[in-house]
């Protein structure tokens, strides 16, 4: 059966997206990992994948036009398949319907379909007139699935279009999912703690009594079988919800009404949740209440300090064996997948250089006496790398499979280690910013990363990446290239080293840099020239200020 592709929720404040570009046209073959369109949101322009295979039968929104979140923007199916019944769900803007006729003309002649299949399609189309399917949105450019951290509604609850239905953990952040539909929550397809693929059904909202089984059956390729498998999935979610209900209703007994995510974040931040005012249903405390909470008194330091001790592994008694299986977070899964692909598909080579940081140390001390923001050595490396990239654009490139893209802007990713793994906030137009601006941007992004507040535009679009472990006492290391970059710079610590100069021994402060390059797009001589320019900037910082 044909699959509907809807406008995904690409940021927590997005309500609609503008189609900046279509990469496929009606009649084209579409693979699951194909980028079908580029969408401009309120914060960034991002790629949209359909995550389905087949032929593009229908395009519902013209280039340059906007579509509401969850609105149908395309349909993919078998050549010649009748998809018009899928357009009756009421989620289109009225501009899509006139394009349906040309779409059908471009597709090959339809083949005969079994009567049972037509009946299923008709039943699903009828059910969709009274219901809206809520799918797992694409919340970051690298996301392929999302884990349901918490459901804020249970089956049978009334839902408004602006209600937060669930909190979803992606590979980079935890974000709220809004259904953008009014009605009753008829179906929950993924229980808390489980993951769903992007574009997979996670819930259905609509009129009471709607034939949910028909929608679920039509979703799969095996007739009613998927419905039989999917229906029990709702049961744990529905039965789990009452467990949370006493918490909400027993507030008279002193229990706090709060979502699991809100409790988790409050615990991590050391916030007394009893002092937070909730803005959710019935005064329930949700994530945004914790994020915006400002304590009236100095926060207690004991809670944050106690957290690591509680997470320390419990070793088995002497002479006994034991182990703990730790479930992979969404972030860890994506780190494993993307860096494995990078390491084993991109031919890495490594260039190393020693930097005399004596003048940089002096310059940093003088700069910090007048700078409104404290400048770190990492900020100086970012600035120097950005300026060096302007002179060596081949390093500021991306390997695109059958061509090399030379970027005309410089967005530098600065890798940050957080509890769940590694994330790379992006400092945009780093070459155009002063050291104090870079320091201010970096501090804000690092704070967001540690508090899981990064939005897609904060961690996407990098053209070059820097990974700094020097602050953790590492002298030197090699880093794996962060796709789609062609290079990554590994920064070691600054260490006093005895060197010989003109027959005399002296102590200088040396910092070791290692540049990992993708040999498909960057040659050895190109990388060496880039490092030489970077070295000149860091060893004579005044040149960065001219």
- The catalytic residues are 519, 523
**Cβ(104)–Cβ(2) under 8 Å?**
no
Q: How far apart are the first and last CA of the chain?
A: 62
Q: Where are the beta strands (DSSP E) in 103-173?
A: 131-135, 145-151, 158-159, 164-169
> Which long-range contacts link 363-368 to residues 24+ away (Cβ below 8 Å)?
363/541, 363/542, 364/541, 367/435
CA pair distance 387, 383, nearest whole angstrom: 6
- Nearest-CA neighbor of 435 among 542, 519, 283, 531? 542
Q: Which residues contact 15 (CB under 8 A, 6 or more apart)?
A: 42, 68, 69, 180
State phi, psi for 131 to the nearest 5 degrees.
Answer: -145, 155
Alpha helix ranges (H) inside 286-423: 287-291, 302-311, 330-345, 358-368, 377-391
- β-pairing, 487-501 vs 464-468, is parallel
CA pair distance 457, 44, nearest whole angstrom: 6
- β-pairing, 404-406 vs 412-414, is unpaired
- Nearest-CA neighbor of 21 among 46, 44, 43? 46
CA pair distance 485, 487, nearest whole angstrom: 6
Angle at 270 between CA 267 and CA 272, to 5 degrees: 85
CA pair distance 243, 154, nearest whole angstrom: 11
3-state class (DSSP) for residue 263: helix
């Amino acid at each position: 059966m044909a699959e509907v592709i809807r406008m995904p929720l690409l940021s927590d404040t997005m309500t609609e997206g503008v189609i900046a570009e279509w990469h496929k046209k009606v009649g084209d073959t579409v693979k699951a990992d194909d980028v079908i369109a580029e969408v401009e949101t309120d914060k960034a322009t991002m790629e949209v994948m359909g995550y389905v295979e087949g032929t593009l039968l229908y395009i519902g929104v013209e280039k340059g036009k906007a579509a509401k979140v969850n609105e149908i923007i395309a349909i993919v199916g078998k050549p010649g398949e009748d998809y018009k019944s899928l357009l009756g769900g009421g989620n289109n803007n009225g501009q899509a319907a006139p394009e349906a006729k040309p779409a059908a003309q471009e597709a090959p002649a339809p083949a005969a379909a079994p009567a049972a299949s037509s009946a299923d399609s008709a039943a699903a189309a009828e059910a969709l007139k009274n219901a809206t399917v809520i799918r797992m949105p694409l919340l970051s450019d690298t996301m392929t699935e999302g884990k349901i951290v918490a459901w804020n509604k249970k089956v049978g609850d009334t839902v408004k279009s602006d209600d937060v239905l669930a909190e979803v953990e992606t590979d980079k952040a935890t974000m709220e999912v809004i259904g953008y539909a009014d009605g009753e929550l008829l179906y929950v397809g993924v229980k808390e703690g489980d993951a769903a693929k992007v574009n997979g059904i996670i819930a259905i909202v609509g009129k009471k009594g709607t034939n949910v089984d028909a929608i679920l059956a039509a979703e799969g390729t095996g007739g009613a079988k998927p419905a039989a498998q999917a229906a029990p999935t709702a049961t744990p979610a529905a039965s789990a919800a009452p467990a949370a209900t006493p918490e909400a209703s027993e507030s008279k007994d002193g229990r706090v009404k709060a979502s699991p995510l809100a409790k988790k974040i409050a615990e991590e931040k050391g916030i007394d949740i009893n002092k937070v005012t909730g803005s959710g249903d019935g005064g329930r405390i949700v994530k945004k209440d914790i994020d915006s909470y400002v304590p009236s008194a100095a926060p207690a330091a004991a809670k944050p300090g106690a957290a690591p001790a509680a997470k320390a592994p419990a070793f088995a008694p002497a002479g006994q064996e034991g182990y703990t299986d730790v479930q992979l977070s969404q972030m860890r899964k994506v780190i494993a997948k993307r860096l494995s692909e990078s390491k084993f598909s991109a031919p890495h080579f490594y260039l190393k250089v020693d930097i005399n940081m004596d003048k940089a140390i002096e310059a940093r001390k003088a700069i910090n006496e007048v700078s409104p923001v404290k400048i770190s050595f990492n900020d100086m490396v970012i600035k120097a790398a950005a300026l060096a990239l302007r002179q060596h654009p081949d390093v500021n490139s991306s390997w695109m499979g059958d061509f090399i893209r030379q970027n005309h802007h410089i967005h530098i990713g600065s890798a940050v280690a957080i509890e769940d793994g590694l994330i790379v906030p992006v400092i945009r137009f780093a070459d155009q910013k002063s050291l104090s601006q870079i320091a201010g941007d970096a501090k804000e992004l690092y704070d967001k990363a540690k508090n899981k507040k990064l939005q897609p535009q904060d961690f996407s679009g990098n053209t070059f990446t820097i990974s700094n472990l020097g602050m953790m006492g590492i002298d030197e290391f090699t880093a794996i290239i962060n796709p789609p970059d062609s290079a990554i710079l590994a920064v070691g610590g600054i260490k006093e080293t005895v060197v010989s100069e003109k027959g005399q021994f002296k102590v200088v402060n040396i910092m070791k840099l290692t540049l990992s390059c993708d040999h498909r797009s960057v040659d050895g001589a190109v990388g060496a020239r880039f490092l030489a320019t970077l070295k000149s900037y860091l060893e004579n910082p005044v040149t960065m200020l001219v």
